[in-house]
Structure 1
Amino acid sequence: MSYMWKIYLLAIISFLNGTSEYVIAGILDRIADASHISVSSAGQLITVFSIAFGAGTPFLIAMTARLERKKLLVYALTIFSIVNVLIAFLSSYEMLMTARILSALCAGVIQVTLLTLAAVLAAPGKQGGAIGTVVMGNSTALVVGVPIGRVIASHYEWNVIFIGLGIIGLLLAVLAAFIIPRTVAEEPVPLREQVKFFMNPRISAYLLITFLWLGSYSVVFTYISPYLLDVFSMSNKEVTTALFIFGIASALGSKVGGFSTDKWGSFRTLAGGTLLHALVLLLFPIIGNVAYLFYALLILWALAAWSSGTPIQLRMITLAPAAASIVLSLHSAFGQIGMAAGAGIGGIAVKNSLMQYLPWIGALALTISVVVIVTDHVFSKRTKITEQEEPMYAQK
Structure 2
Amino acid sequence: MQKPTFSAALRRRQLPRQTQISERRRLIVMLAMSLGAFGIGTTEFVSMGLLHMIAEDFQITEDTAGVIITSYALGVVVGAPLITALTGRVPRRRLLLLLMAAFTVGNGLSVFATNYETLLVARFIAGLPHGAYFSVAGLAAASMAPVAQRGRAVAFITMGLSVATVIGVPAAQALGAALGWPAAYGLVATIGLATVVLLWFLMPHMTRMRPTNPRTELGALKRSQVWLTLAMGTVGFGGMFAVYTYISWTMTDRAGLDASWLWLVLMVYGIGSVGGTWFGGWLSDRNLELGILFALIMIAVVLTAFYFTSTHPVLGVINFGLVGFFGSSLTPSLQIRLMDVAGDAQTLAAALNHSALNLANAAGAAIGGAVIAAGFSYSAPALAGTVLAVAAILVWIPTTVLRRRQLARS
2:7 counterpart residue number: none
1:102 counterpart residue number: 125
2:399 counterpart residue number: 376
Larger radius of gyration: 2
Q: Does 1:313 align with 2:316?
A: no
Instruction: Select the residue among 95, 118, 139 that pairs with 1:72.
Output: 95
Task: Name the TM-score, length of structure 1 as normaliser.
Answer: 0.88
CA contact (8 A) 1:48 1:101 kept: yes
Q: How does 1:7-18 map to 2 (within 5 A)?
A: 7-18=30-41
Q: Does 1:258 align with 2:281?
A: yes
Instruction: Select the residue among 198, 206, 211 that pairs with 1:187.
Output: 211
Instruction: Select the residue among 243, 251, 269 that pairs with 1:246.
Output: 269
Task: Name the TM-score, length of structure 2 as normaliser.
Answer: 0.85
CA distance in 1, matches of 2:146, 2:201: 21
Deviates most, 253-262 or 327-336: 327-336
1:57 Cα deviation after fit:
1.4
1:290 partner amino acid: H
Instruction: Select the residue among 296, 302, 307 that pairs with 1:274.
Output: 296
CA contact (8 A) 2:217 2:347 kept: no
CA gap of 1:43–1:278, structure 2 versus 1, over 3 A, is farther
CA distance in 2, matches of 1:362, 1:60: 31
1:335 counterpart residue number: 357
Q: Which ranges of structure 1 fall in alignment gaps of 5 or more residues? A: 391-396
CA distance in 2, matches of 1:24, 1:319: 35
Deviations 1:102-141 (A, max 9, x none): 1110222222221121111112321111001111111111
Deviations 1:336-385 (A, max 9, x none): 2232333444455566676713323322222211111122223334x163
1:393 counterpart residue number: none
Q: Which ranges of structure 2 fall in alignment gaps of 5 or more residues? A: 1-21
2:156 partner amino acid: T
CA distance in 2, matches of 1:102, 1:212: 27
1:231 Cα deviation after fit:
4.3
1:13 partner amino acid: G
CA contact (8 A) 1:54 1:335 kept: no
1:244 Cα deviation after fit:
1.2
1:325 counterpart residue number: 347
CA gap of 1:188–1:18, structure 2 versus 1, over 3 A, is same
Deviates most, 222-231 or 362-371: 222-231
CA distance in 1, matches of 2:55, 2:374: 18
CA distance in 1, matches of 2:165, 2:139: 23
Instruction: Select the residue among 287, 306, 315 that pairs with 1:284.
Output: 306
CA distance in 2, matches of 1:278, 1:42: 33
1:201 Cα deviation after fit:
2.3
CA gap of 1:208–1:226, structure 2 versus 1, over 3 A, is same
CA gap of 1:34–1:240, structure 2 versus 1, over 3 A, is farther
2:257 counterpart residue number: 234
1:256 Cα deviation after fit:
0.4
CA distance in 2, matches of 1:68, 1:100: 27
CA contact (8 A) 1:44 1:344 kept: no
CA RMSD of aligned residues (A): 2.6
SS of 1:181 mapped into structure 2: coil
CA distance in 1, matches of 2:199, 2:174: 29
Larger RCO (alpha carbons 8 Å, 6+ apart): 1
Q: Does 1:359 align with 2:369?
A: no
CA gap of 1:27–1:367, structure 2 versus 1, over 3 A, is farther
> Sequence identity, in percent?
24
SS of 2:148 mapped into structure 1: coil
CA contact (8 A) 1:43 1:343 kept: no
Aligned length: 385
Deviates most, 315-324 or 278-287: 278-287
SS of 2:407 mapped into structure 1: coil
SS of 1:316 mapped into structure 2: helix
CA gap of 1:104–1:5, structure 2 versus 1, over 3 A, is same
CA distance in 2, matches of 1:138, 1:205: 25
CA distance in 2, matches of 1:153, 1:347: 28
Instruction: Select the residue among 109, 112, 115 that pairs with 2:138.
Output: 115
1:296 counterpart residue number: 318
CA contact (8 A) 2:93 2:206 kept: yes
1:84 Cα deviation after fit:
0.8
CA gap of 1:347–1:93, structure 2 versus 1, over 3 A, is farther
1:272 Cα deviation after fit:
1.2
2:70 counterpart residue number: 47
1:321 Cα deviation after fit:
4.4
